Amino acid sequence: MSKIGVFICHCGHNIAGTVDVEAVAEALRRVPGVALATTYKYCCSEPGQKLIRDSIQEQGLDGVVVAACSPAMHETTFRRAVASAGLNPYLCECANIRELCSWVHQGDPEQATAKAIAIVQTIVEKVKRDEPLEMLKLPITRRALVIGGGIAGLQTALDIADAGYPVLLVERSQRLGGKMAELSGTYLNFEAASDLLAQKIEAVTHHPRIEVLTEAEVVEVSGYVGNFNVRVGRLGTDKLVNWEGQAPSTNLPMYQSTELAVGAIVVATGYDRYPLSALPEYGAGQIADVIDTLAFEGMLATGGEIRRPSDGKVPREVVFVQCAGSRDPEHGVPYCSKICCMVVAKQATMYARRVAGGQAYVFYMDIRSAGRGYEEYVDEAMQKHGVLYVRGKVSRLFPADSKVMVWGVDTLSGRPIEVAADLVVLATPMVPSAGTAELAQRLRAATDADGFFAEAHPKLRPVESLTAGIYLAGAAQGPKDIPEAIAQASGAAAKVLSLFSHEEMTQDPLVAYVIEELCSACGTCVEVCPYQARSIHPVRNVAIVNAALCQNCGACVVACPNKASQVFNWKPEQFLAMVDAIF
Amino acid sequence: MRRALVVGAGIAGIQVALDIANSGYEVVLVERLPSIGGHMAQLSETFPTLDCSQCILTPRTVEVGHHPNIKLMTYSEVISVESVDGESGKLGHREAGEQVTNLPIYQSTNLPEFRVRIRRKAAYVDWNLCTGCGACQEKCPTKVISEFERGMGQRKAIYVVSPQAVPNKPVIDAEHCLYLTSKQGNSTTGVALHPADIEAGRVSAVGKPRRPRCGLCARVCPTGAIAFDQEDALFEERVNAIVLATGYDLLSPTRLPEYGGGRLPDVIDGLAFERLLSASGPTAGKIRRPSDGAEPKEVVFVQCSGSRDPERGVPYCSKICCMYTAKHAMLYKHHVPDGHAYVFYIDVRAGGKGYEEFVNRAAEEAGVVYLRGKVSKIVPQDGRLVVWGADTLSGQRVEIAADLVVLATAVLPAAGSERLAAMLGLASDGSGFYVPANAEIRPVESHVPGVFLAGAGLGPRDIPETVAQASGAAAKVLKLFAAARREGDEESEGNTEVME
Ligand SMILES: Cc1cc2nc3c(=O)[nH]c(=O)nc-3n(C[C@H](O)[C@H](O)[C@H](O)COP(=O)(O)OP(=O)(O)OC[C@H]3O[C@@H](n4cnc5c(N)ncnc54)[C@H](O)[C@@H]3O)c2cc1C
Ligand SMILES: Cc1cc2nc3c(=O)[nH]c(=O)nc-3n(C[C@H](O)[C@H](O)[C@H](O)COP(=O)(O)OP(=O)(O)OC[C@H]3O[C@@H](n4cnc5c(N)ncnc54)[C@H](O)[C@@H]3O)c2cc1C
Ligand code: SF4
Ligand code: SF4
Ligand code: SF4
Ligand code: SF4
Ligand code: SF4
């Protein structure tokens, strides 16, 4: 007979406010094999964990069920507590009576309590049949791959290499530096974007532990955290001259392709500008003197005079249009590109400083200058440099003589506004860099609704992807400016350094296995496994599982015609017993 | 042995400590409150995903509490730092506030070494004996206004900060404990976080009449952990890197006289509203206004209260309040569907993943009314609050009779950060926030070798930015330690594989 301890958590009001936890404990005490059923206000708190540890030791429990929040929250906490009391951690399971019960049945305590009892009963039956398992140990290749050589990629590579590990930096264009190399200056330092960047590039190219491959791309990725195999293709130079906007293709001729084992991959592929041609309502792409901020950045960068594209004249009136395509689900992208309010303030200021007597206008919806010193910066653009900020949308843009007429409404005064501009600069959206979707697929990393790489958790795991061993740096994860990109790039490096600080890594043993006597090597599981974890052993001729790749999805279990495929601690008899417990 | 000191155990300090500790180095984590978590422990749900803050935080605090490489020192403060090696020996001589720009990127393989003195405040409880059973708190007769609940709830004189606190060991508040005050001859008048609360008459020690020598807690404690004679303790730690993660405070409403100056009980700040929203808060997650416990039907949120206002408050933008106000207004509407929420704003600053969409949801789906304009005055009238403002879009004056007003007050550096900065010889820019070595390309390093920066102590920021950046600071520490390990006299540990 098992001796299972059931700990029912109040979670303050979260559970106990709806579920009658005492009734649940009472009901569970009557279940055969349950030696103890008790409630506690916060099981995850220190005294809560202590209660579990003490009960294991005092009552000699051989299984533990914590009826509380989702296992995604505290399974690790409770398993660790159980292990420290000397019980195998895999004999502890969480019964989710919060997300699956109290939170969704708030108005109905009676039914919620009945449901909670049922949920806990099923888990008790599962635990009765759980086997003790040991952590899997896997080797780690302590070398990192960084994809993308913008400021984010450079910073990550430096941080990892300085800490002593070799790095391969793969950049698909001909040079390092990414967009920062196209900038005139930074917000706070008008002249020195290139100097700041040059320092980093210099450090990277001369680093004994960094190997840089330009005009190269990652074409294939296999393996798993700690043990990836990547194939990097170096493309013919001629194929890359017009790289911009062209989708990468693995079919391009390669004159060299290298296979390399790496333990961690950092994605730092940055962003791209939004195609001007996609904003016809601003005359973009048709009117020569309507350009985007990156193009204006190029004019400022030359250091010389600012001249407009059509006739080379110095523009006297320049109109900047913020959110041109951003925050506009109908015509552009729904999100805010985050940096352009500041970029425009910088460009308008630089323009005002360079062109005496020139007038800059900025059309905006909200000025998003939230950042250290940023508010003051925009104030200075207005007050010191006479930049005229107009709150409103541009309604029409059309060429008239040699000018570009800009019609808009000042939403503050309610009056229509008309500016005859010499040059119009559109703050167009930042979009994921070309080829992001394909790369994401190759890496088996997820992207978000806007096409940027998705972080593992929007609050607490901002530099990790959902795929173990793949980390995110810079604008590849979403629009950000240089300081934020750099901080996050170092953050990604920290994750790699943490991983590499161990000789080997441990992995949850909850994976699929094959009962070899039953396996007919039909290969069905190999086909269905979405994570390429299954193969047929060439000699023994049975299906085998690469435990490091298996994500415990169960597809193989269902597919196997011989019932030879199972998942540890999710065996069919466990499911049946769980169902029997409540029906 | 290479060790790091992390000062402040909000989410920033926690993240830094975990990243360093998980890489095999020792961390001394110093937090001045009795338990860790910082402001995140006070939040209800977090934008833009509305995850429950406690729920995502506790796995981290629990991990810190158990981590074999983390030496957690709560209820403690750093009182002095001295540099031991030559490299950072300049430290002691540097004037606080001296600007040091363009220092070379730290390259020395000499590991800096700091001697740090830490004072642990007397908890009057022997934590080695205490099991966290809670019996003492149940029996303690003295109720005190709770700082954690922003003055809206009560705690005992012996207390833990929150039910899920790590470590879950109580401390005795010597200013209110009957035994200690009678022993030391202190008086028992209430002292709470906000002087404003006192003025408003909301604060007093609600306990029983003063009675010498209570000692109830000592009597009920099953392990004899109560130690009334405990004194402050001094510790010395040697570390090779320091990360400052001391976070922020909010501007006191007393600085905003036109908004009631903290005298109007139903004018509260954002953190107080978080407590009202929180299921574990003083109202168990029901929206009730402080003055009379009624459910407010008209709620006005005032953004930029004291921010972007060089004359009366601070010149900078506090960065997080547009987003949390959208969250507050939206959650309010979820709690009180027939209520009305109004937001006064100058600009809505929603730059971040999913943020723009979040604010749109607040306005369009939840029906929050956004008014572009400033609030000039809040005056009490017949048990309500009249909010006078201007709608700069229609050019009209607006007057709203509100039941509750929530001020999104300015974010300030945590009290005491300037003292720490001066102690370490860090540069200062007058705002009180820490100054990075280069705001653009070295955002997490300070000017002083071996000293790094993380979290809202560098300026207002939300949780994702804080966490990403905290990991960034950890990387700098790891890099420093690893470089020293390579060049140092210890054996190379076999991780300097050279690429073929
Ligand atoms: C007009 C304008 C002005 C700006 N001004 C400022 C400013 O003043 N201050 C500031 O802080 N920020 C500014 N920014 C923002 C700044 O450009 C970004 O923050 C920064 O460039 C982000 O760096 P990153 O490394 O993440 O991305 P990127 O700079 O985009 O670098 C990504 C790199 O990855 C490479 N890459 C992409 N895909 C692949 C692939 N599949 N394989 C291999 N390599 C790949 C790209 O070729 C590129 O080199 C400005 C942006 C614009 C548009
Ligand atoms: C009303 C409100 C709502 C918010 N909502 C959200 C949200 O929904 N989503 C989101 O992303 N962000 C939100 N935030 C922002 C969030 O609170 C911060 O991003 C986050 O708490 C910053 O963490 P931190 O660790 O840097 O600072 P803190 O949380 O302030 O932690 C600092 C810690 O250091 C300690 N400390 C300070 N000085 C010392 C010292 N000298 N010695 C020792 N210890 C010291 C403090 O006691 C504290 O524990 C909100 C903020 C407010 C005000
Ligand atoms: S950063 Fe400013 S200009 Fe850019 S999309 Fe956001 S609000 Fe518009
Ligand atoms: S459980 Fe899923 S991931 Fe694991 S081997 Fe089976 S099909 Fe593949
Ligand atoms: S001595 Fe009395 S007042 Fe003081 S903490 Fe103990 S029970 Fe509370
Ligand atoms: S009664 Fe004693 S053991 Fe229990 S919490 Fe209080 S001090 Fe700790
Ligand atoms: S974040 Fe929004 S509310 Fe806060 S100070 Fe900035 S503009 Fe004002």
Closest CA to A327 of A370, A290, A367, A295: A367
List CB contacts of B152: < 8 A, sequence separation 6 or more.
B146, B268, B272, B275, B276, B281, B282, B283, B290
How are the residues of chain B apportioned to helix, strand and coil, as percentages rounded to the nearest 5? 25, 25, 50
Whether B353 sits inside 8 A of A42 (CB atoms) is no
Chain segment B195-226, per-residue pLDDT in tens: 444 445 444 444 444 445 799 999 999 899 99
- Minimum CA–CA partner of B67 in chain A: A80
Average pLDDT rounded to a whole number, residues B278-299: 94
Amino acid letter, A27: A
- Residue A526, pLDDT > 60, answer yes
Q: How far is A403 from chain B (nearest CA, A)?
A: 30
Chain segment A50-92, per-residue pLDDT in tens: 999 999 999 999 999 999 999 988 899 999 999 999 999 999 9
Would you say the C-alpha torsion B427, B432, B434, B438 has a positive or negative sign? negative
Are B110 and B87 in contact, with CB atoms under 8 Å apart? yes
Chain segment A298-347, per-residue pLDDT in tens: 898 876 679 999 999 999 999 999 999 999 999 899 999 999 999 999 99
Q: How far is B279 from chain A (nearest CA, A)?
A: 6
Determine the residue among B478, B493, B498 to mutate to test chain A binding: the one whose Cβ has the most chain A Cβ atoms within 10 Å.
Answer: B478
At residue B500 the predicted structure's pLDDT band, cuts being 50, 70 and 90, is very low
- Ligand 6 lined by B386 (C-beta under 6 Å): no
- Ligand 4 lined by A552 (C-beta under 6 Å): yes
Strands A423-426 and A290-292 turn out to be parallel
| Element at B429 (helix H, strand E) | none
Contacts of A47 in chain B (CB under 8 A): 131-134, 168
Token pair in block for residue B77? 């403060």
Residue whose Cα lies nearest atom 7 of ligand 4: it is: A529
Contacts of A495 in chain B (CB under 8 A): 19, 471
Strands A317-321 and A423-426 turn out to be parallel
Whether A370 sits inside 8 A of B280 (CB atoms) is no
Q: How many CA within 13 A on the CB side of residue B257?
A: 2
- So what's the pLDDT on residue A91? 97
Q: How far is B28 from chain A (nearest CA, A)?
A: 18
Alpha carbon of residue B298 to chain centroid: 29
**Chain A contact present for B463, CB below 8 A:** yes
Of B22, B308, B441, the CB nearest to A482: B441
- Minimum CA–CA partner of B319 in chain A: A370
| Element at B376 (helix H, strand E) | strand B375-381
- Ligand 4 atom closest to the Cα of residue A553 is 2
Average pLDDT score over chain A? 91
- Ligand 5 lined by B158 (C-beta under 6 Å): yes
B456 CA distance to ligand 2 centroid (A)?
7
Report how far apart the first and last C-alpha atoms of chain B are (Å, whole number): 31
Rounded to whole angstroms, how far apart are CA atoms B361 and A224? 38
**Chain A contact present for B233, CB below 8 A:** no
In the 3-class helix/strand/coil scheme, how is A55-96 assigned residue by residue?
Answer: HHHHHCCCEEEEEECCHHHHHHHHHHHHHHCCCCHHHEEEEE
At residue B430 the predicted structure's pLDDT band, cuts being 50, 70 and 90, is confident
Do A144-270+433-500 and A512-567 share a fold?
Answer: no
Q: How many CB atoms lie within 10 A of CB A64?
A: 26
Task: Please tell me whether residue A420 adopts helix, strand or coil conformation.
Answer: strand
Determine the residue among B356, B480, B487 to mutate to test chain A binding: the one whose Cβ has the most chain A Cβ atoms within 10 Å.
Answer: B356
Helices first, then strands: H and E counts in chain B:
11, 24
- Residue B494, pLDDT > 70, answer no
Strands B384-391 and B375-381 turn out to be antiparallel
- Residue B194, pLDDT > 80, answer no
| Element at B331 (helix H, strand E) | helix B321-335
Burial class (CB in 10 A: 0-12, 13-18, 19+), B290: buried
Contacts of B105 in chain A (CB under 8 A): 199, 203
Of B80 and A305, the structure prediction assigns the larger pLDDT to B80
Q: How many CB atoms lie within 10 A of CB A308?
A: 21
Asked whether the bond before B167 is cis by omega within 30 degrees of 0, the reply is yes
- So what's the pLDDT on residue B184? 61
Strands B26-30 and B3-7 turn out to be parallel
Chain segment B28-48, per-residue pLDDT in tens: 999 999 999 999 999 999 999
Burial class (CB in 10 A: 0-12, 13-18, 19+), B399: exposed
Amino acid letter, A454: A
Contacts of B443 in chain A (CB under 8 A): 483-484, 486-487
Rounded to whole angstroms, how far apart are CA atoms B137 and B149? 17
Q: How many CB atoms lie within 10 A of CB A525?
A: 28
Q: How far is B349 from chain A (nearest CA, A)?
A: 5
Domains and CATH numbers, chain B: 3-121+233-247+414-492 (3.50.50.60), 135-220 (no CATH), 251-410 (3.50.50.60)
Rounded to whole angstroms, how far apart are CA atoms A304 and A508? 61
Residue whose Cα lies nearest atom 4 of ligand 7: it is: B321
- Ligand 6 lined by B224 (C-beta under 6 Å): no
- Ligand 4 lined by A559 (C-beta under 6 Å): no
Whether A45 sits inside 8 A of B279 (CB atoms) is no
Chain segment A86-117, per-residue pLDDT in tens: 999 999 999 999 999 999 998 899 999 999 99
Average pLDDT rounded to a whole number, residues B328-354: 96
Average pLDDT rounded to a whole number, residues A508-532: 93
- So what's the pLDDT on residue B487? 60
Report how far apart the first and last C-alpha atoms of chain A are (Å, whole number): 22
Whether A341 sits inside 8 A of B351 (CB atoms) is yes
Token pair in block for residue B227? 């130690």
Q: How many CB atoms lie within 10 A of CB B401?
A: 12
B140 CA distance to ligand 6 centroid (A)?
11
How are the residues of chain A apportioned to helix, strand and coil, as percentages rounded to the nearest 5? 35, 25, 40
Q: How far is A441 from chain B (nearest CA, A)?
A: 21
- Residue B233, pLDDT > 80, answer yes
Whether B495 sits inside 8 A of A168 (CB atoms) is no
Determine the residue among A383, A409, A501, A502 to mutate to test chain B binding: the one whose Cβ has the most chain B Cβ atoms within 10 Å.
Answer: A501
Whether A14 sits inside 8 A of B279 (CB atoms) is yes
Whether B347 sits inside 8 A of A162 (CB atoms) is no
Domain ranges for chain A: 4-128, 144-270+433-500, 273-430, 512-567
Determine the residue among B317, B392, B461 to mutate to test chain A binding: the one whose Cβ has the most chain A Cβ atoms within 10 Å.
Answer: B317
Task: Please tell me whether residue A339 adopts helix, strand or coil conformation.
Answer: coil
DSSP secondary structure string for all residues of B154-171: EEESEE-SSTT-SS---E
- Minimum CA–CA partner of B284 in chain A: A13
Q: How far is B391 from chain A (nearest CA, A)?
A: 9
**Chain A contact present for B166, CB below 8 A:** yes
Residue whose Cα lies nearest atom 5 of ligand 5: it is: B158
Rounded to whole angstroms, how far apart are CA atoms A536 and A542? 5
Token pair in block for residue A180? 């920062």
Rounded to whole angstroms, how far apart are CA atoms B385 and B403? 6
B322 CA distance to ligand 7 centroid (A)?
5
- Ligand 7 atom closest to the Cα of residue A370 is 6
Token pair in block for residue A577? 């017993």
- Ligand 2 atom closest to the Cα of residue A459 is 11
Whether A375 sits inside 8 A of B439 (CB atoms) is no
- Ligand 6 lined by B133 (C-beta under 6 Å): yes
Closest CA to B450 of B84, B36, B22, B118: B84
B222 CA distance to ligand 6 centroid (A)?
7
Query: Between the CA of residue A158 and those of A15, A209, A268, A322, B133, what are the distances in Å?
Result: 48, 9, 13, 35, 49
* Contacts across the A-B interface (CB distance below 8 Å): 258
At residue B279 the predicted structure's pLDDT band, cuts being 50, 70 and 90, is confident
- Ligand 2 lined by B463 (C-beta under 6 Å): yes
At residue A437 the predicted structure's pLDDT band, cuts being 50, 70 and 90, is very high
B74 CA distance to ligand 5 centroid (A)?
21
Pick the CATH number of A512-567 from 3.30.420.40, 3.60.21.10, 3.40.50.1000, 3.30.70.20: 3.30.70.20
| Span A273-430 CATH architecture | 3-Layer(bba) Sandwich (3.50)
| Element at A159 (helix H, strand E) | helix A151-162
Whether B473 sits inside 8 A of A490 (CB atoms) is yes
Average pLDDT rounded to a whole number, residues A22-50: 93
Residue whose Cα lies nearest atom 3 of ligand 1: it is: A343
Whether A458 sits inside 8 A of B49 (CB atoms) is yes
CATH 3.50.50.60, domain A144-270+433-500, yes or no: yes
Ligand number nearest CA of B188 is 5
Chain segment A118-150, per-residue pLDDT in tens: 999 999 999 999 999 999 888 899 999 999 999
In the 3-class helix/strand/coil scheme, how is A307-332 assigned residue by residue?
Answer: CCCCCCCCCCEEEEECCCCCCCCCCC
**Chain A contact present for B58, CB below 8 A:** yes
- Minimum CA–CA partner of B21 in chain A: A498
Ligand number nearest CA of B309 is 7
The alpha carbon torsion through A309, A315, A321, A324 (nearest 10 deg) reads 0
CATH numeric code, A4-128: 3.40.50
Phi/psi at B378 (5° precision)? -125, 120
Chain segment B17-31, per-residue pLDDT in tens: 999 999 999 999 999
Rounded to whole angstroms, how far apart are CA atoms B278 and B276? 6
- Ligand 1 lined by A480 (C-beta under 6 Å): yes
Phi-psi region of A542 (alpha: psi -120 to 50; beta: other; left: phi over 0): beta
Chain segment A151-168, per-residue pLDDT in tens: 999 999 999 999 999 999
Note the ipTM here.
Answer: 0.84
